[in-house]
A and B are shown apart, each in its own frame.
Chain A
Amino acid sequence: VKNERNPKAKERDTKRKLEIHKTTEQKTENKKRKRSHSKQRGKRNIDDEDKGGEQISKQKKNRKNKKTKKLLTEEAEGEGYITKQKKKRRPQVDEENANATKQMTPEGPPKKKKRAKVSESEDSSSEKESSEEEEWKVTALTPEELEKLKEAVDEKKKLITILRGKPWPMLKKLQTLKESHDFLEKFEGALGKGKAKKLYAYKVMMLKRWMKFQRDFENFKTACIPWEMKIKDIESHFGSSVASYFIFLRWMYGINMILFGLTFGLVMVPEALMGKPYGSMPRKTVPRAEQASAMDFAVLWDFGGYAKYSVLFYGYYNSQRAIGWLKFRMPLSYFLVGVGTVAYSYMVVIRTMARNANEQGGGDDTNFNFSWKMFTSWDYLIGNPETADNKFASITTSFKEAIVEEQESRKDDNIHLTRFFRVLANFLVLCCLAGSGYLIYFVVRRSQKFALEGLENYGWWERNEVNMVMSLLGMFCPMLFDVISNLENYHPRIALQWQLGRIFALFLGNLYTFIIALMDEINLKRKEEETVKLNMTVWMANLHNGTLAENSTAPPITADPADVPRGPCWETMVGQEFVRLIISDTMTTYITLLIGDFLRAVMVRFFNYCWCWDLEYGFPSYSEFDVSGNVLGLIFNQGMIWMGAFYAPCLPALNVLRLHVSMYLQCWAVMCCNVPQERVFKASGSNNFYMAMLLVILFLSTLPAIYTIVSIPPSFDCGPFSGKNRMFDVIQETLEMDFPAWFGKVFSYASNPGLVLPFLLLMVLAIYYLQSTSKTYKKANAELKKKLQAQNEENKKKNKRAALKASDPEEARNSASEQQWHQINNNASKKEMDTWGCKN
């Protein structure tokens, strides 16, 4: 009773407050007046409380009882109250009350009916409202009323913000909006007194300005989203799955823009502006031997020559601790940007994943197979007749499949054959993967041999063999997989996932063989470095001897920086390899696009006039847009960026360029040479699948990068960390030199294993706790589901028994409320899962 009473009692109170100031006499008012008097008396009683304790408490109790009784009786009347109002229509007061009630009622399902009634009556009252309000304003307001008024104002404000989500016709929405605005205009000013009033008015004004600014900003933001129209165009022609690729591409572009901003603004520009200029030291100069060909296009295209000795690569950066008049800490900045890039990427990917997971309803329920097919299978975005035809066909087949599955009339006679074929297919795919891995390893080994003998003796193919082989494998293996997967006879959705998984494995294998080969090369270079170091001392001694012989007083060693012998600088080598890989990958993508899509489309289109069979619908036909392959390509490309960005700060810039070009190129190609897919899938389900793959790639690509940073000492004569034992020593150095001593002490205490280990333990415990709670939520969910089903069964039985009677409304309401509970639980558990995922 209490729970039900509270909001209603509140309503009554507000009504009473409003009515006190009315001069018109009414029956109900009398009652209420009495009550307000009693309340005042109560106040006095409280003042006197010290004197007579017991009596007062008794009185209080009595009063309470009276109050509840009154309320109960009023409640009984209450149902009829509003309808009475409607009938009477005469008294202004009542109508205003209705308004007040409307404002006071909290948003909630139990009140819905009532509110609807009230709002009906409200429409009629709106005309008179203004005159009443003026009357209202004249009367002085007590603090309590002010409170109520404030609440009403807040309620109106809330109404305005949620108005767009109301299922009302627009006309009603507009009217309500206008009314609430008028109400706010009238009464916002009335709140507060004297100075407070002014302050309040100022606040309100500022709030309004702020809201306006926010809205303008929002408009501006949506106007700034690039390629919106292009993507919408594609969406309407090809359905949402193709569009999802372009949205993903745009998202990638955004991330790369930020990475580019970081590296460009904090690493490349400071070094170029404030660092020592080109030619001032050996690491910033092209060696004498290479100078003749340093400006050749072929060399530059390979990122050798002048490109190699520039801000684009690791080796160019100086290890000077602070540069320029800003005392910019270059090595520290370089290190932090490298770490920040990875950290930012992790954050963005995980955040997006969590948001996607939130947006998707609990799609694990398979109880609604047919209903979902019926009500959600049409993609409302389709605006192209051909796509629509395909969609109709695919819906029909999906229904037929479902019917067949339902009838379970599947023939079991050839299941052994399909099993055999599936095993065979997997075997073939494994062979392919192993073969491609070996091929890459072989090629990389060969290229090392070439490199040792000097690349100048070999042609273009030998120089680019590794990249070309990798790109070609990435191009042809997926086609092979596609052919093989025809053997398996899976449902297309499952087949798509298998295909994705296989291509993923292929790319991953290729990438890791490449990295292992690169590691070998790094070791080779480091051995070379040792010998160079020895030679260096000899060379220095020679130089000293020579200068000493000529001029004994001043020993400035004035050798041209181009002549100084130098180490091989493995970091720059790694960066170069990655840049070359990206370039060749981009080139192959574009060329396949032009040949595979464009030329094919042109051929099919024009040879169709003079050919013996129909090319457009026969064998070559137009190509479909391969969403999965393109997404995977994008993901792996990003993985390479993450891996190589530390050694080649220019990589994000290159990638931004690439993505920009491919956005336009692919949009054009899709619109002019592709046809809609035969089986149009909806994309939303697989979005997080892509994200998960991106996360895996991110993790796998940071592993080798972190390994090289942590465990391999940097080159002695190039890069921002030269002369240090390890790259991360730069943190230690900064702590010692730039921070007060106590900070270093605190830091060393904090990084003490004694503190770190318990912290880790705590994290593990927290994860364990969250996981177990989410498990219990899941269990509760399952239990509730079971209960619900049992109830449904019961209901159905009951209905059968009482065949002609309508279903019992009570029961239905029960089940509905239970569902709500169930849903709330579901949400809660999902939230838990999210937090858990974030922690993880």
Chain B
Amino acid sequence: MGNKQTIFTDEQLDAYQDCTFFTRKEILRLHGRYHELAPHLVPMDYTNDPDVKVPLALIVNMPELKENPFRNRIVESFSEDGLGNLSFNDFVDMFSVLSEMAPRELKAIYAFKIYDFNVDNFICKEDLEKTLNKLTKEELTPEEVNLVCEKAIEESDLDGDNKLSFADFENMISRAPDFLSSLHLQHLSDTLIQNDLQSVVTGTVPPWSNSGLNVYLRDTMVVSRT
């Protein structure tokens, strides 16, 4: 108990619970994750709301976000300065909105922000092209990209201005069957790699396991060789 209270006061925890979809334990765990990102920067004691921000480059490397093609946009749209530096509040906010419990409307608002690359409050063709290229790792030909973007705009543009406003976007996304589950980020107690290391060490996963650590090691080795 004493350990917990050095991080947050009870009031703070209650307030965070009121403002997010998390339980007390999860908030503490989130703080742990946040602290892990920059141990020298983030203090363990948050009782007096220190003004600390972690830069984008560190956050993007979290295992939850590392594989996500939109990681930069996600972090940017949750940062208060728009540059991608997250305070702890923003950090909690991000995980709260992208948690399982968040309602569809809330997710739609932030999804719109994420996909609006040039922050002009419209998703225009440029944004769509960027989205598509990130999704397919630029494996489609320019003609195909063009076709897909045009079709997408044609489908969901209601007011005919050749770009998607939030109303258009919400109308489209609110009927998507798997939107809720797709915009859902998880947070783990430890990073994946640590988990794998631990399980290899303790023997719960044999070292020939093809998942997790091995793949990670293999990939990093390949990258470093090339």
Contact = CB atoms under 8 A, between A and B. Distances in A.
A547 interface: no
Contacts of A135: none
Nearest to A212: B14
B170 to A, nearest CB: 9
B104 interface: yes
Nearest to B209: A672
A363 B177 contact: yes
A673 B178 contact: no
B131 A403 contact: no
A391 B71 CA distance: 16
B224 interface: no
A211 to B, nearest CB: 10
Contact of A383 (B17, B106, B192): B192
Contacts of B104: 361
B89 interface: yes
Interface residues of B, number: 87
Contact of A229 (B15, B69, B189): B189
Given A164-B18, A396-B140, A363 B175 contact: yes
A417 interface: no
B82 to A, nearest CB: 11
B159 A240 contact: no
A396 B136 contact: yes
Interface in B62-114: 63-64, 66-70, 80, 87, 89-90, 92-93, 96, 98, 102-106, 109-111
Nearest to B132: A374
Interface string B165-206: 101000111111111111111101100100100010000111
Interface residues of A, number: 93
A386, A676, A819 interface centre (most CB from chain B within 10 Å): A386
A412 interface: no
Nearest to A233: B195
B186 A799 contact: no
Contacts of A823: 174
Contacts of A235: 186
A400 interface: yes
A382 B67 contact: yes
A128 interface: no
Contact of B181 (A368, A396, A683): A683
A672 B160 contact: no
A190 B63 CA distance: 51
Interface stretch (B1-9, B32-40, B52-60, B144-152): B144-152
A402 B111 CA distance: 23
B90, B195, B206 interface centre (most CB from chain A within 10 Å): B206
Nearest to B74: A380
B24 A219 contact: yes
Interface in A361-389: 361-363, 365, 367-372, 374-388
21 contacts: A170-B89, A170-B93, A173-B19, A223-B25, A233-B192, A237-B192, A361-B177, A369-B155, A374-B135, A375-B115, A378-B69, A381-B186, A385-B67, A388-B67, A601-B210, A672-B206, A674-B211, A798-B160, A799-B161, A807-B160, A812-B158
Given A171-B89, A384-B192, 14 more contacts: A169-B93, A219-B24, A229-B188, A237-B211, A359-B180, A363-B176, A372-B176, A374-B128, A380-B98, A383-B192, A396-B135, A668-B205, A788-B158, A816-B167
Interface of A: 160, 163-167, 169-171, 173-174, 177-178, 215, 218-219, 222-223, 229, 232-233, 235-238, 240, 359-363, 365, 367-372, 374-388, 392, 395-396, 399-400, 402-403, 406, 601-602, 605-606, 616, 622, 668, 671-676, 682-685, 788, 792, 795-796, 798-800, 806-807, 811-812, 815-816, 819, 823
Interface of B: 14-15, 17-21, 23-25, 63-64, 66-70, 80, 87, 89-90, 92-93, 96, 98, 102-106, 109-111, 115, 128, 131-132, 135-137, 139-140, 144, 147-148, 151-152, 155-156, 158-161, 165, 167, 171-186, 188-189, 192, 195, 199, 204-206, 208-212, 215-216, 219
